Amino acid sequence: MENVLVDNIFVELTLALLAGALLGVFFFAGLWWTVRQLKSTQHVALLFIASLLFRSAIVIAGFYFIAGDNGYHLLAGLLGFMLVRLMATRYTLQVEQAQPLRKTLIVDKQEDRL
């Protein structure tokens, strides 16, 4: 009987971790989309605030449902969210570091043609 209980807790925490990760993907993908749209809008502040409120409301509601009546589910969900944040941060740092290199390569190729 104890193995079934342990397996059940493991499955519940894993699902909470995955749900938190999905919330993280939603939040940070929405942030990425918002930042990309800021260049093409005349109402920058409105877009940014509306996006922030929408993303935050969805994530807070998601964590409310993940937590249920168990704090460990909330902790697992937060861990999943933070793992996605870590991966998103590393990805954007890699892209930023690669951008100057790409610009340099393009400039070098254009200078070779001249």
Q: Which two tokens stand for residue 29?
A: 């993908």
The pLDDT mean for the chain works out to: 86
Buried b / exposed e across 41-54, counting CB within 10 Å, b at 16+? eeeeeebbeebeee
Q: Which domain holds residue 95?
A: 2-113
Q: Are 21 and 83 in contact (CB under 8 A)?
A: yes
Predicted local confidence at residue 103, as pLDDT: 57
Question: What was the pLDDT predicted at 33?
Answer: 94
Tell me what pLDDT residue 40 has. 92
Residue 6: the pLDDT is 62
CA distance 12 to 67: 11
What long-range pairs does 51-60 form, CB within 8 A, spacing at least 24? 54/30, 55/26, 55/27, 55/30, 55/31, 58/23, 58/26, 58/27, 59/23, 59/26, 59/27
Q: In whole angstroms, give the CA distance from residue 43 to residue 50.
A: 11
pTM (two decimals): 0.78
Number of domains into which the chain is organized:
1
75 three-class SS: helix
Segments of the chain with pLDDT less than 70: 1-6, 100-114
